[in-house]
């Protein structure tokens, strides 16, 4: 099973899609153009600080609000390996799966973890932090199929006989 570790950025409850990427920047041509404005209403400096392989840990209802798919795409573009939250809003959840951004639900970690610490994740099994183990659930099969195909675009290309 895949295992990885990364540095943690900690956010609160109800991190909405307007915080992840304000509407003002939504008509920029590419996700790369938008990425510097990620999280700007809440923490304008954060986008520049996030490094490849970092992990976001947040409270409940992460990604609530709009259907804007730029939200998970930007988080992925910033180099974030996965988002661990107490819970996710449903459109954001679907959009993340479709773009291959890994989401992990865990009720407890957010309340104990400190920003800047390292955590280790074993996919579909557990998170390790300060010697404690936090169990995580497996994703349903149909979602793993999309992830295994490399996202929905690749799954559709396969369907259309292109790859």
**Three-state secondary-structure class, residue 110:** helix
Task: Supply the minimum distance, in Å, between the C-beta of residue 133 and another protein.
Answer: 26
Cβ distance to another protein smaller for residue 17 or 113: 17
What element of type H or E holds 74? Answer: helix 70-77
Footprint of another protein (CB under 8 A): 14, 16-19, 22-24, 26-29, 40-42, 60-61, 64-70, 72, 87, 89-91, 94-95, 98-99, 140, 142, 151-153, 155-157, 159-162
Residue placing its CB nearer to another protein in the complex, 70 or 129: 70
Instruction: Tell me whether residue 26 or residue 123 sits nearer to another protein (CB atom).
Output: 26
Determine whether 13 is exposed, middle or buried from the number of CB atoms within 10 Å of its CB (0-12, 13-18, 19+): middle
Q: Cα separation of 69 and 71, whole Å?
A: 5
């Amino acid at each position: 099973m895949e295992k990885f570790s990364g540095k943690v950025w900690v956010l609160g409850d109800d991190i909405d899609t307007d915080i992840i990427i304000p509407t003002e920047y939504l008509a920029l041509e590419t996700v790369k153009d938008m990425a510097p404005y990620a999280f700007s209403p809440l923490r304008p400096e954060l986008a520049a600080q996030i490094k490849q392989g970092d992990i976001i840990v947040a409270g409940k209802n992460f990604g609530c609000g709009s259907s804007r798919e730029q939200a998970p795409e930007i988080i992925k573009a910033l180099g974030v390996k996965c988002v661990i939250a107490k819970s996710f809003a449903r459109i954001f959840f679907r959009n993340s799966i479709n773009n291959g951004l890994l989401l992990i639900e865990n009720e407890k970690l957010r309340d104990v973890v400190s920003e800047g610490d390292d955590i280790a994740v074993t996919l579909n099994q557990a998170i390790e932090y300060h010697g404690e183990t936090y169990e995580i659930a497996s994703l349903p099969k149909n979602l793993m199929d999309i992830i295994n195909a490399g996202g929905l675009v690749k799954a559709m290309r396969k369907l259309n006989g292109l790859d």
